[in-house]
Amino acid sequence: MVHVYYRSLALLLSVFLWTACGSEKSISDRVALSEIAHYIESNPVYETAAVDYGEIKFSQRSDADLLAAYQRLEKEGYITMERLKERKKFLSKDSTFVYLVKLTDKSIPLVLEKTDKKVTVKTFEYSLDEEGGVLIEQTGKNRAKATVTLRKAETDFADFAKKDPDNNASFTKKTYSLRFNGDAGWEVTK
């Protein structure tokens, strides 16, 4: 009788431990969103474009939109523009302008890379939409994939983004791979 009691107790204890360990390795929506939010803080998601600076030549007709984009940046305080030359073409309504374009300190948070005449800037930034929910697919005992919604927000450099006729959404869906680590719990691996 005592032998059956210990055997039952051992079986009960092993079932309890197995379910306890198994529940740690199953991932909840809250944990997935929290881990992805933490990952995005250190690995932001954004779109970029290359922008010229220094001496830039504009044609009044063909570069009107580009010149207007630069003037908006100047108005917002991201750049300064100094007109160096203006030349009116003979018997034409078109003129050319040469400006000296300089970046200001206000542009620093949006600048990713800078060379002598070009700068790579963020045009759109994405943030996690926690209200959009998460779709979790457990791909193994220690692995899962979580698909989330990222909201798209324009920066002041958005006018320089390449126009993509297929990208008309204000959000994107992105899938992250997660892995269970016995010491740290769930972590994003990609």
| Dist CA 8 CA 48 (whole Å) | 63
| Dist CA 18 CA 15 (whole Å) | 5
| Dist CA 146 CA 18 (whole Å) | 25
* Residue 89, pLDDT score: 65
Q: Give the pLDDT band (50/70/90) at residue 10.
A: very low
* Residue 139, pLDDT score: 85
Q: Which of 30-39, 40-49, 177-186 has the lowest mean pLDDT?
A: 177-186
Q: Give the pLDDT band (50/70/90) at residue 19.
A: very low
| Ranges of each domain in the chain | 27-188
CA distances, 16 to each of 3, 23, 28, 142 (Å): 20, 11, 20, 19
Q: Which of 12-16, 37-41, 133-137 has the lowest mean pLDDT?
A: 12-16
* Residue 79, pLDDT score: 95
Average pLDDT, the chain: 82
Query: How confident is the model over 73-87, as pLDDT tens digits?
Result: 999 999 999 998 877
Are 125 and 46 a contacting pair, CB within 8 Å?
Answer: yes
Q: Which of 93-97, 142-146, 174-178 has the lowest mean pLDDT?
A: 93-97
pLDDT > 60? residue 59: yes
* Residue 149, pLDDT score: 92
Per-residue b or e along 136-164, where b marks 16 or more CB atoms closer than 10 Å to that residue's CB: beeeeeebbebbbbbebeebbbbbbbeee
* Residue 131, pLDDT score: 85
